Structure 1
Amino acid sequence: MNWGNGIFLLLVVFIGLMASLVTICVKQDDIHLVTENYYAEEIKYQEHIDRVTNSKATEGKVMHFDATSKTLQFKLPVGASGELHLFRPSDARLDRKIKVEIKDAASNLLPLEDLKPGYWKMKMTWEADGVAFFEEKKIDI
């Protein structure tokens, strides 16, 4: 084999490898965005900053996860209401949004045993006495 055939063979292998990689990348369908309407969420970001600032002014954390019983405990005042977003970064199909209303002291527990094992982000947005708050917690189940 001479130099010309070797260079030609190398180019053919390289082009074949690149074509197969491009084909694999184009056929992927399990790419999930963090949110579907990214730009609309970005516009409302100042409200989020205000919620985080309000949360830092409160005493301690609001969400406490117990890994042994797989329950989430809220330390919210009675009358608070909000939404808990369970976010799975690796698979958007597992994401959930749960409405939370604290009507009495007994409604502070949320069972999470039906969640698939892995890494989760919990994003809690709530309102109490007309003030909005936000807290985020990362857990492994």
Structure 2
Amino acid sequence: MNWGSGIIVVFVVFVALMATMVTICMKQDDMHLVTDNYYEEEIRYQEHIDKVSNSLESEKKALSFDAGKKILTLNLPVGAQGELHLFRPSDARMDQKIDVDILKEDVNTVNLNKLETGYWRVKLTWKENGKGFFEEKKIDL
């Protein structure tokens, strides 16, 4: 084999390898964006900043997690309403949203035993006296 044939073989193998890699990448269906409505979420970001600011101004933390019992406690006053978002960064199919409505002082826990083990972000959005709040906690089950 001479130099010209060797160079052509190298180029053909390189093109075949690149075509195979592109085909494999295009066939993957388990890629998930952080959110389905990315641009709409970006527009509402200022509201989110205000909610975070309100939470930082308050003296108490709304979320506390007991890793041993896998129980999440919501330290919210009676009458607070909102949403608890259990967010799994590695797989959006595991995400869960739970409506929160604190009617009694003693009913404020969420059992997380049924969730898959791994890294989770718990996002709590609530309204209290007409004012919006947001708090996020990173947990490892």
User: How would you bin the TM-score normalised by the shorter chain?
Assistant: over 0.9
Name the amino acid aligned to 1:113.
N
**Residue number in structure 1 paired with 2:46:** 46
Q: For residues 21-100 of structure 1, what are the structure 2 equivalents within 5 Å? A: 21-100=21-100
Instruction: Tell me the TM-score normalised to structure 1 length.
Output: 0.97
* Structure 1: runs of 5+ lacking an equivalent: none
Q: Distance in 1 between matches of 2:60 and 2:32?
A: 33
Q: Distance in 1 between matches of 2:68 and 2:28?
A: 37
Shift of 1:92: 0.6
Q: How many residues align?
A: 141
Question: What RMSD, in angstroms, separates the aligned Cα atoms of the two structures?
Answer: 0.8
SS at match of 1:107: coil
Q: Distance in 2 between matches of 1:30 and 1:107?
A: 37
Instruction: Tell me the TM-score normalised to structure 2 length.
Output: 0.97
Shift of 1:60: 3.1
**Residue number in structure 2 paired with 1:119:** 119
Alignment identity in percent? 61
Matched, 1:6 2:6: yes
**Residue number in structure 2 paired with 1:104:** 104
Q: Which moved more, 1:3-12 or 1:49-58?
A: 3-12
Q: Distance in 1 between matches of 2:60 and 2:107?
A: 19
SS at match of 2:124: strand
Shift of 1:53: 0.5
Name the amino acid aligned to 2:73.
Q
Shift of 1:24: 0.5
SS at match of 1:12: helix
Structure 1 runs of 4+ with >4 Å offset:
none
TM-superposition CA deviations, 1:101-137 (whole Å, max 9, x none) = 1111211111010000011111100011111100011
